[in-house]
A and B are shown apart, each in its own frame.
Chain A
Amino acid sequence: MTTVETRVETPAPQADPPRSVARSALRSALPIIGALVGFVAVWYLVTYLVLPAKQRFLLPPPHEVYGTTFSNPQLMGPMMEALARSFAVALVGLVIAVVFGISYAVVMSQWAWAEKVLYPYAVILQTIPILALVPLIGIWLGYSFLARVAVCVIIALFPMVANTLFGLQSASAAAHDLFTLNKATRWQRLVKLQFPAAVPSIFTGLRNAAGLSVIGAIVGDYFFQQGSPGIGGLLRVYTQRLQMEALLTSVTLTALFGVVIFTIFAVLDRAVVGRWYGRVAR
């Protein structure tokens, strides 16, 4: 049998010389750097030209903010510790949200009635303002670690549930017919069809949930202040004391924290999902 369609792999374009790699990296970084420069420029503009001298303490210039805080170990030490604690809350919250969210979606995917019964609760959890739940969480779970984690889970859960369910239901009707014709059990269908089909969506959910769990951890810290403070707790303290430099630095750190977490999961997403379909270019 010789009528095989031959598929000649086009040779990969020759590797670019290093100089042009550096240049293209620079070109892709340029907008980000540009935006940063613009941001700092606006900041200086507001500090020196918009604010009258008497109110300049409301927004000290960047060099004062970062200069005084980053070089001050008494300020940076507690801040980094608090950040680590918030990280722990976010991580524990994310793990719970992932495990619970996927299980919840799997149950919904198996029985039509289960979806009808359970989905509304996921939506309610998503739509109810977290502020409305804060007093209850405090009363039930106390005002420290556990309560912070709970806030985190509530915020991060919905994207996990919704994306996983979408993925589990994404297999085509024909693929389901294939499994039916081969007399697949419910378990085989879940493990060999629905779950693998859901992997890309689960990673999308994970990326979103990770970003939200960071927000959840900080919001949780902010409200539940018993025990050692997280970065959200420090935000509150600095606000009350009007320590503008420390406040702005911790806001910056939380932003960076979020960006780092989101990036990690975005990279993970691309790596895993790319491999899932057999390393497709792009």
Chain B
Amino acid sequence: MTKRFPTGTVALTDVSMSLDSGEFVTVVGPSGCGKSTLLRLASGLETATGGSIEVSARATSYVFQDATLLEWRTALRNVELVGELRGASREERRSRARAALDLVGLTGFESQHPRQLSGGMRMRVSLARALVAEPDLALFDEPFGALDEITRLQMQTELQRIFRQERFAGLFITHSVSEAVYLSTRVLVMSGRPGRIVAEIPIPWDYPRPPELRYSAEFGEITGRVSTALGEHS
């Protein structure tokens, strides 16, 4: 598929990829290479100017760069929003929201407002909101980019645990090579604008992945290959 904006900018050219359920694919690339455009296309927020996109997912959810919480709602009510918009009954959406918050480890923080939560916890609420719809396709647009290093590692561990449990198809955008390798079953490397996929690197490990995996020689070797592919094409 291809995406050309009315301004004439070609964000993506000849990008071809597929994603099966149970897969977690991460796209890494230099900033401005059209990674986010890829997600917006997959979610239906934008339409491709050429080629085709087929999404058979029953429910798709999207995790934004910022937590994007409604500041005037508590954590629980933020997660409930999805059910509200889709017309679920009050009891149903409330119990689902509680379960989703529990899944991300936020039990006890239901009645806190976003401003009372730390950055990591806000992102957890955002994850819960994405998971509450029980998606079979989950799209992540650099969700941990704004977090500090420690929180970021925690969130990665957390996300792969959730992925193992929920088994949606995940499409994750990042510019962090180690994040990509740690989280995914497959890493796609994109070139600078206009974005093309220039390398595809399968990741061998099963889930759950212990945090220490990041310090193993094999992890270093794979991140090296991803970085090399990035370097050759930026």
Query: Taking beta carbons and an 8 Å cutoff, which residues of A are in contact with B?
Result: 1-5, 7, 172, 174-175, 177-184, 188, 192-193, 196-197, 199, 276-278, 280
Shortest CB–CB separation between residue B157 and chain A, in angstroms?
8
Is A277 touching B81 in the complex (CB atoms < 8 A)?
no
CB pairs A–B below 8 angstroms (11 shown): A1-B103, A5-B120, A177-B62, A181-B44, A196-B70, A197-B70, A199-B72, A276-B71, A278-B74, A278-B113, A280-B115
Shortest CB–CB separation between residue B96 and chain A, in angstroms?
14
In the complex the two chains form, what is the Cα distance from A236 to B143 in whole Å?
A: 65
A175-B68, A280-B116 given; A188·B85 CB < 8 A:
yes
Is A183 touching B86 in the complex (CB atoms < 8 A)?
yes
Q: Is B23 an interface residue (CB 8 A)?
A: no
In the complex the two chains form, what is the Cα distance from A2 to B105 in whole Å?
A: 7
Is A175 touching B70 in the complex (CB atoms < 8 A)?
yes
Query: Which B residues are in CB contact (< 8 Å) with A1?
Result: 102-103, 105
Is B115 touching A181 in the complex (CB atoms < 8 A)?
no
Query: Which B residues are in CB contact (< 8 Å) with A277?
Result: 71-72, 113, 115
State the total of A-B contacts with C-beta under 8 angstroms. 80
Shortest CB–CB separation between residue A269 and chain B, in angstroms?
15
Query: Which B residues are in CB contact (< 8 Å) with A179?
Result: 85
Is B106 touching A4 in the complex (CB atoms < 8 A)?
yes
Q: Is B121 an interface residue (CB 8 A)?
A: yes
In the complex the two chains form, what is the Cα distance from A184 to B87 in whole Å?
A: 10
> Hey, what's the 0/1 contact readout for B98-125 against A, CB within 8 Å counting as 1?
0000110111100011111110110000
Query: Which A residues are in CB contact (< 8 Å) with B70?
Result: 175, 192-193, 196-197
In the complex the two chains form, what is the Cα distance from A280 to B44 in whole Å?
A: 37
Is A192 touching B118 in the complex (CB atoms < 8 A)?
no
Interface residues on B, range: 35 or more
Shortest CB–CB separation between residue A213 and chain B, in angstroms?
27
Shortest CB–CB separation between residue B135 and chain A, in angstroms?
11
Q: Is B219 an interface residue (CB 8 A)?
A: no
Query: Which B residues are in CB contact (< 8 Å) with A193?
Result: 70
- Sample of 4 more A-B contacts, CB < 8 Å, known A181-B61, A196-B70, A199-B72: A1-B105, A5-B120, A172-B66, A280-B113
In the complex the two chains form, what is the Cα distance from A1 to B158 in whole Å?
A: 10
Q: Is B154 an interface residue (CB 8 A)?
A: yes
Shortest CB–CB separation between residue A256 and chain B, in angstroms?
35
Query: Which A residues are in CB contact (< 8 Å) with B117?
Result: 7
In the complex the two chains form, what is the Cα distance from A6 to B205 in whole Å?
A: 31
Residue in A3, A175, A192, A199 whose beta carbon sits within 8 Å of that of B154 in the complex:
A3
Query: Which A residues are in CB contact (< 8 Å) with B64?
Result: 174, 177-178
> Hey, what's the 0/1 contact readout for B10-51 against A, CB within 8 Å counting as 1?
000000000000000000000000000000000111000000
Query: Which A residues are in CB contact (< 8 Å) with B71?
Result: 197, 276-277
In the complex the two chains form, what is the Cα distance from A182 to B106 in whole Å?
A: 23
Shortest CB–CB separation between residue B46 and chain A, in angstroms?
10
Residue in B45, B72, B74 whose beta carbon sits within 8 Å of that of A177 in the complex:
B45
In the complex the two chains form, what is the Cα distance from A174 to B69 in whole Å?
A: 10
Is B65 touching A278 in the complex (CB atoms < 8 A)?
no
Query: Which B residues are in CB contact (< 8 Å) with A196?
Result: 70, 72-73
Residue in A2, A3, A184, A278 whose beta carbon sits within 8 Å of that of B85 in the complex:
A184
In the complex the two chains form, what is the Cα distance from A179 to B193 in whole Å?
A: 29
Q: Is B82 an interface residue (CB 8 A)?
A: yes
A5-B121, A174-B66, A181-B43 given; A276·B84 CB < 8 A:
no
Residue in B81, B116, B120, B121 whose beta carbon sits within 8 Å of that of A192 in the complex:
B81
Q: Is B60 an interface residue (CB 8 A)?
A: yes
Is B45 touching A181 in the complex (CB atoms < 8 A)?
yes
A7-B118, A174-B66, A188-B85 given; A180·B45 CB < 8 A:
yes
Task: With a 10 A CB-CB cut-off, give which of B108, B113, B157 has the most chain A CB atoms.
Answer: B113
Residue in B61, B84, B118 whose beta carbon sits within 8 Å of that of A5 in the complex:
B118
Query: Which A residues are in CB contact (< 8 Å) with B114?
Result: 278
In the complex the two chains form, what is the Cα distance from A182 to B132 in whole Å?
A: 12
In the complex the two chains form, what is the Cα distance from A153 to B216 in whole Å?
A: 72
> Hey, what's the 0/1 contact readout for B53-69 against A, CB within 8 Å counting as 1?
00000001110111010
